[in-house]
Amino acid sequence: MADKKARLTVDGLEEAIELPVYSGSEGPDVIDVRPLTGKGLFTYDPGFVSTAACESKITYIDGAKGVLLHGGYPIEQLAEKSDYLEVCYLLMNGELPDAEQKEKFVNTIKNHTMVHEQMSHFFNGFRRDAHPMSIMVACVGALSAFYHDSLDINDARHREVCAYRLIAKMPTLAAMCYKYSIGMPFQYPRNDLSYAENFLQMMFGNPCEEYVPNPVLAKAMDKIFLLHADHEQNASTSTVRLAGSSGANPFACIASGVAALWGPAHGGANEAVLTMLEEIGDESRIEEFVAKAKDPNDPFRLMGFGHRVYRNFDPRAKVMKATCDQVLAELGIEDEPLLKIAKRLEQIALEDEYFVARKLYPNVDFYSGIILKAIGIPTSMFTVIFAMSRTIGWISHWSEFHSSPNKIGRPRQLYTGPSAREYDN
Ligand code: SDX
């Protein structure tokens, strides 16, 4: 029930239009603009800068303060005290698991990590140098072909099983993409390892010897998964919700999220940051690239900087930067040149009026690539790692959408094309 009202006066309308205003538990009030349609009016908001497309209880972001909460828990505390699978449970259920619930959840995920053996044949249709994101879009969508036993989207148990399957199988598919690209055999998952250890094993293990995971790298990998898990109504999550609103198969919906994430303005930025840092190559060239980023006639943007919501530091970037220092130190990588360039670039940008005026700060993608590179993951796999991590966010929002009465998403438009005219050819 609305606790406030907005009144809109429009030239040409005799009476003001009364619109309900709702308050959430956190964040700005929202104006319910649905009555406008009955008055022959639409709202206009390209890029959905000022549009709340749904109600959600999963994640909250305060962009001005640089706050990110999952189920009310600050990301900094989760990054320090929790782990990825525990955060997956939190995002799916709204509460942290107790010890028994966590053990059951971890074991359930372990029992779903293998993919159907037929999946391996999909890879042979791709060139070895195909971008792994193109393979992921194809393979995640193809999962639809294998799981006909859990596709009733109105059945909460089916939705839960789909979530388990996706959380468990994304690392397996991701590692298969990498192995295929280097001509090595696929590694089967191992149930004696943790989620992050198992991913590293499938990425870097081989049939000729026992793989012993490095605890430092496994911990860093788990933190990267955790920091990318969910982020409210970002472009790819909104895509998954919209695809889900048509009643599409959950695996197809997640494939649409993988596709949307791929863009360099979104999840593809982590790969673009590394490419940019390598192109800069030396601290002496930073000013040149900052000037390009500021030039309105140059399409170049400082990748890893800026955010639609954060007008302050992205709290994930802060944790990622600290993790970067830890991982490099623990690996004995002293003078990582890309890290030096990144830190200098951040310092220059944060002192530059152009970036300050536009509140452009490093985002989650700015430092993640340096850690992934230190772990030995090739740049082309960076967005695949993001997609794997974000799968829990996508499927949690998809499930939230289907757990209450819903409608197909169908935005309208401001039409500026030709009015009706007679065919006169
Ligand atoms: C992610 O939404 C999410 O939550 C996403 C994400 C998640 O977890 O899901 O956080 C993950 O996608 C992080 C963002 C990764 N993308 C990049 O790092 C690419 C570089 N950044 C941008 O392209 C940009 O900042 C966006 C896309 C992130 C945000 O774009 P907006 O909100 O549409 O802002 P804008 O394009 O309107 O920019 C406002 C101004 C413009 O200048 P003016 O026209 O006012 O003069 O800031 C400028 C832009 O030109 N600007 C930049 C810039 N980002 C914005 N200028 C130089 N370099 C940049 N990076």
> Which tens digit of pLDDT belongs to each residue from 189-228?
999 999 999 999 999 999 999 999 999 999 999 999 999 9
Q: Is the pLDDT of residue 159 over 70?
A: yes
Q: How confident is the model at residue 151 (pLDDT cuts 50, 70, 90)?
A: confident
Residues ≥6 apart with Cβ < 8 Å to 55: 24
Q: Is the pLDDT of residue 2 over 90?
A: no
- The tokens describing 147, both together, are 């799981």
Alpha-carbon span 324 to 13, nearest angstrom: 58
Sheet holding 17-22, edge to edge: 4-8, 17-22, 30-31
The single-letter code of the amino acid at 252 is: A
How far, in Å, is the centroid of ligand 1 from the Cα of 358? 10
Pocket test for ligand 1, best of 262, 300, 305 (most atoms within 8 A of CB): 305
Q: Is the pLDDT of residue 81 over 70?
A: yes
Q: Write down the pLDDT at residue 349.
A: 86
Alpha-carbon span 248 to 324, nearest angstrom: 39
Q: What percent of the chain has pLDDT over 90?
A: 95
Contact present, 225 and 196 (Cβ < 8 Å):
yes
Residues ≥6 apart with Cβ < 8 Å to 67: 60, 61, 74, 315
How far, in Å, is the centroid of ligand 1 from the Cα of 309? 9
Contact present, 170 and 255 (Cβ < 8 Å):
no
Residues ≥6 apart with Cβ < 8 Å to 13: 39
Q: What percent of the chain has pLDDT over 70?
A: 100
Q: Is the CB of 324 under 6 A from ligand 1?
A: no
Q: Is the pLDDT of residue 371 over 60?
A: yes
pLDDT tens readout for residues 4-27: 999 999 999 999 999 999 999 999
Average pLDDT of every residue of the chain: 95
Q: Would you call 112 a catalytic residue per the annotation?
A: no
End-to-end CA distance of the chain: 55
Q: Is the pLDDT of residue 150 over 90?
A: no
Closest protein CA for atom 26 of ligand 1: 307
Q: Is the pLDDT of residue 362 over 90?
A: yes
What is the arithmetic mean of pLDDT over 248-258? 97
Q: How confident is the model at residue 354 (pLDDT cuts 50, 70, 90)?
A: very high
pLDDT tens readout for residues 379-421: 999 999 999 999 999 999 999 999 999 999 999 999 999 999 9
Pocket test for ligand 1, best of 60, 62, 298, 363 (most atoms within 8 A of CB): 363
The single-letter code of the amino acid at 152 is: D
Q: Write down the pLDDT at residue 3.
A: 78
Instruction: Kindly report the number of other CB atoms within 10 A of residue 172's CB atom.
Output: 22
What is the arithmetic mean of pLDDT over 336-355? 92
The single-letter code of the amino acid at 142 is: A
pLDDT tens readout for residues 292-333: 999 999 999 999 999 999 998 999 999 999 999 999 998 998
The one catalytic residue in 230, 314, 365, 402 is 365
The one catalytic residue in 158, 307, 397, 402 is 307
Q: Is the CB of 266 under 6 A from ligand 1?
A: yes
Q: Would you call 365 a catalytic residue per the annotation?
A: yes
Closest protein CA for atom 21 of ligand 1: 306
Q: Write down the pLDDT at residue 148.
A: 77
Q: Is the pLDDT of residue 334 over 80?
A: yes
Alpha-carbon span 75 to 389, nearest angstrom: 15
How far, in Å, is the centroid of ligand 1 from the Cα of 409? 25
- Helix (H) or strand (E) holding 288, with range, is helix 286-294
Using alpha carbons, list the distances in angstroms from residue 192 to 35, 152, 188, 198, 303: 57, 32, 12, 8, 38
pTM of the predicted structure, to 2 decimals: 0.96
Pocket test for ligand 1, best of 307, 320, 368 (most atoms within 8 A of CB): 307
Q: Is the CB of 227 under 6 A from ligand 1?
A: no
What is the arithmetic mean of pLDDT over 336-361? 92
Q: Would you call 116 a catalytic residue per the annotation?
A: no
